[in-house]
Amino acid sequence: MERWSGKVAVVTGASSGIGAAITKNLLKYGVHVVGLARRINRIEEFSVELQDSPGKLYPVKCDVSLEQDILEAFSWINKTLGTLHILINNAGVFNETQLHDFITEEWLNMMNVNVLGLTICTREALKMMKEHGVNDGHIININSFLGHTMSNNPVMNMYATTKHAVTASTEGLRRELVQQNSQIRISSVSPGIVKTEMFTSGGTRTLGPEIYNVMTCLEAKDVSDAVLYILGTPPHVQVHELTILPIGQPS
Catalytic residues: 159
The alpha-carbon radius of gyration of the chain (Å, integer) is 17
The CA-CA-CA angle for residues 29, 30, 33, to 5°, reads: 105
Q: Is 149 helix (H, G, I), strand (E, B) or coil?
A: coil
Strand bridging mode 57-61 / 86-89: unpaired
Which stretches of 129-207 are assigned E, i.e. beta strand? 138-142, 185-191
- CB-CB contact of 87 with 14 (8 Å): no
Q: Which residues pair with 61 in a beta bridge?
A: 37
Task: Give the rounded distance of the alpha carbon of 136 from its chain centre.
Answer: 19
- CB-CB contact of 12 with 62 (8 Å): yes
Distance between CA atoms of 82 and 236, rounded to whole angstroms?
25
Q: Is 3 helix (H, G, I), strand (E, B) or coil?
A: helix
| Sequence letter at residue 123 | R
